[in-house]
């Protein structure tokens, strides 16, 4: 997919949902349908490498997470794995003092229910209480004031927005000047590894996902959504247009995934 094609792409477009509103509704319904099996499938289909990706991404923001009372938003949080990774880093960096305020947001109620349940389970294992907060919200119309957060992240969710540029602008809006953005999402590796990956991603993964979840649509949509997502150079250019500087992309695991970072222009 060349740069010109990338520039024309507005956002995610599930089959049969070409409009922004219908695309958003289709994505919400897909993720609601797979919420009960979402975590299992993520770990199985990624061979548990997804845990490493969350950890590496969260680690990049230690400088913000160690600040007292910094405000962090994990956008399109799903069942909360990136939110938990950020929380663990914040607790580690702020041992004995007040940790960052971390909020997970998603527009799928079923996903948030699972995230909240996992938070309770994790807290019970450690003999404490759940301290994370969850809110049902649309990433394109966030219910937060301008400049409220010091860090906004999104792990494997930004790609599903119906309007990528609008999503970047909304992230920039709720970030304080000098605040950081971190978007972890899938990529398309090249060479022989890329060829093998595409066979797995387009043929094997959808079959396994459909078999385990019992729902076909989401796992047929996944490879198409990755193929449609802007290439790194185009994504970085879009981040610049949205008001981010020092934009960068760090590939993970042969570029199967990667972390986009940017700092809001002061």
What is the band of 233 on the pLDDT scale with cuts at 50, 70, 90? very high
Residue 187's domain spans which residues? 3-264
Higher pLDDT, 43 or 148: 148
Total number of domains in the chain: 1
Q: What is the CA radius of gyration of the chain?
A: 18
Of the candidates 163, 186, 141, the residue with the CA atom closest to the CA atom of residue 27: 163
- 258-to-22, 38, 52, 93, 248 alpha-carbon distances in Å: 28, 21, 12, 24, 10
Q: What's the CA gap between 102 and 84, in Å, rounded?
A: 9
Q: Give the residue from 234, 223, 233 showing the smallest Cα distance to 256.
A: 223
Interval 193-204: pLDDT, tens? 999 999 998 899
pLDDT at residue 99, rounded to an integer = 60
Query: Mean pLDDT over all residues of the chain?
Result: 89
Q: How confident is the model at residue 214, as a pLDDT?
A: 83
Tell which wins on pLDDT, 122 or 70: 70
Q: What is the CATH number of the domain that holds 217?
A: 3.40.50.150
Q: Is the pLDDT at 2 greater than 50, yes or no?
A: no
Q: What is the mean pLDDT of residues 128-157?
A: 91
What local confidence, expressed as pLDDT, does residue 128 receive?
Answer: 55
Bridge partners (DSSP) of residue 134 are 104
Residue 117 has pLDDT above 50, yes or no: yes
Please check the confidence at residue 207 and state whether its pLDDT lies above 80.
Answer: yes
Confidence band, pLDDT 50/70/90 cuts, at residue 254:
very high
Between CA 135 and CA 162 the distance in angstroms is 20
Assess whether pLDDT exceeds 90 at residue 129. no
User: Region 217-233: what's the mean pLDDT?
Assistant: 89
**pTM assigned to the model:** 0.91
Residue 256 confidence class, pLDDT cut points 50, 70, 90: very high
Q: What is the pLDDT of residue 1?
A: 43
Q: If you average pLDDT over residues 201-212, what whole number do you get? A: 88
Phi and psi for 230 in degrees, rounded to 5?
-55, 145
């Amino acid at each position: 997919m060349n740069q010109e094609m990338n520039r024309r792409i507005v956002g995610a477009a599930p089959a049969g949902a070409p409009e922004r509103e219908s695309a958003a509704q289709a994505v919400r319904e897909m993720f609601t349908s797979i919420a009960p099996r979402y975590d299992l499938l993520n770990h199985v289909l990624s061979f548990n490498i997804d845990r490493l990706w969350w950890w590496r991404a969260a680690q990049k923001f230690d400088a913000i997470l160690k600040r007292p009372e910094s405000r962090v938003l994990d956008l399109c949080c799903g069942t909360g794995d990136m939110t938990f990774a950020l929380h663990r880093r914040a607790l580690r960096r702020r041992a004995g003092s007040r940790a960052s305020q971390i909020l997970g947001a998603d527009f799928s109620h079923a996903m948030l229910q699972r995230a909240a349940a996992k938070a309770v389970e994790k807290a019970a294992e450690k003999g404490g209480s759940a301290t994370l907060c969850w809110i049902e919200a649309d990433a394109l119309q966030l219910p937060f004031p301008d400049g409220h957060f010091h860090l906004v992240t999104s792990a494997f969710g930004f790609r599903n927005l119906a309007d990528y540029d609008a999503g970047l602008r909304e992230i920039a809006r709720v970030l304080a000047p000098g605040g950081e953005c971190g978007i972890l999402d899938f990529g398309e590796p090249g060479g022989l590894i890329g060829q093998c990956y595409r066979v797995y991603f387009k043929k094997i993964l959808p079959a396994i996902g459909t078999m385990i979840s019992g729902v076909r649509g989401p796992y047929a949509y996944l490879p198409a959504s990755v193929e449609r997502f802007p290439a790194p150079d185009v994504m970085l250019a879009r981040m610049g247009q949205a008001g981010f500087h020092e934009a960068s992309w760090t590939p993970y695991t042969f570029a199967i995934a990667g972390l986009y970072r940017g700092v809001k222009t002061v």
